[in-house]
Structure 1
Amino acid sequence: MTPQRPAAGREWLLDLKPRGPDTTSTAASSPATVAETISHVGETPVCWAIEVGREMATTIIREIPAFGGGEGPFQTLRKGTESSTLRAMVLLAFPDVQLSPITEEALEGDREFVRRGIALDKVLRGIRLGHAGMAQAFLTACESLVGPDRVADEMKAVSEDLFGYIDAFSGSMVTEFLAERDRWITSAAAARAETVNQILAGDEIEVRAASSVLGYDLDRCHLALIAWANSPGEVSDLERIAEAQLRARGATATLAVPIGSSALWAWGSIANDADPAPQPAPPVHADIRIALGLPGRGVDGFRRSHEQATRAERLARLAGDRATRVTDYAEISAIAMLAEDIDSARNFVERELGPLADSTSQVSALRETLLQYLEQERSISTVATYLHLARGTVAYRVKKAEAMLGHEVGQRRFELHAALLLAQVLGDAVLPES
Structure 2
Amino acid sequence: MRLGSHNDVRLAAGNATAGETPAETMRRCAHAMLLRSSQVSAAISADVLSHVAGLTPNGSVQAIKAVHDSTDQNVGAIFATLAFGVPSDAAEPPTGTQDLLRHTVADDGDVTTLLRAYRYGHSLLWEMWSAHVAEQVGEAPRLHEVLSMSSKHMFTFIDRSCERLVSDFQLLYGARSPARPTRSVGETIRDLLLDDTVVDEALASTVLRCDIGGYHVGLVLSPLAAGVDVRAVAGTLSTAAGAASGATLMVGDGTMWSWLTWPRRPGEDRLRRVHDTPAKDVVVGMGEPGRGRSGFARSHQQARDAERVTRLNRNVCGGVVRYRDVELAGALCGDVGRARRFAEDRLSTLISDDPTVERLRETLLVYLDNGCRQSRAAEVLHVHPKTVSYRLAQAQRLLGQPFAEHVLDVGAALTVAQALMGGRPHS
TM-score (norm 1): 0.48
TM-score (norm 2): 0.49
Over alpha carbons, which structure has the higher Rg? 1
